[in-house]
Amino acid sequence: MAYPIQDVLAAEKEAEAIIEKAAAKRQAILAKANQEALILLAEEQKKIDAGEQRRIESARQEIETRAAKVRSEAAQEAQRLRRLAEKKIDKASDFILAELDSRMG
């Protein structure tokens, strides 16, 4: 009757070995899943960062475009005012010379 007890003991050892192997496999699967999750998170963060960089660059270009337009418009307005002032200076000079002529002579 020694055989049935040895069969039970052998079956228990085999079951323990299967359980240990399953636990080790479970740990390996969890470790791999954690590693893959970290990789995916890093990839998603890179995508987010790249998207933010694109938005920042787009906004910077828009600001530069608007600033260039404002500078151009300001330069045009300055030219217009300069031409207007030159005309008025000529008129003022003519007026002053005419006044001097009339007072002197």
Tell me the per-residue pLDDT of 36-48, one tens digit each, with 9 for 90 and over: 999 999 999 999 9
Parse the chain into domains and list their residue ranges. 1-105
> Any idea what DSSP says for residue 54?
H
pLDDT of residue 96: 85
Residue 78: name the closest of 66, 70, 89 by CA.
70
Tokens (6 digits) for 96: 């002053």
Tokens (6 digits) for 67: 């600033």
Which residue ranges in the chain fall short of pLDDT 70? Answer: 1-2, 105
pLDDT of residue 92: 82
The pTM score is: 0.52
- Say which residue the tokens 């080790």 belong to: 24
The one-letter amino acid code at 15 reads A
> Any idea what DSSP says for residue 105?
-
Tokens (6 digits) for 54: 């694109």
The Cα–Cα gap between 93 and 102 comes to 14
Phi, psi of 5 (to 5 degrees): -70, -40
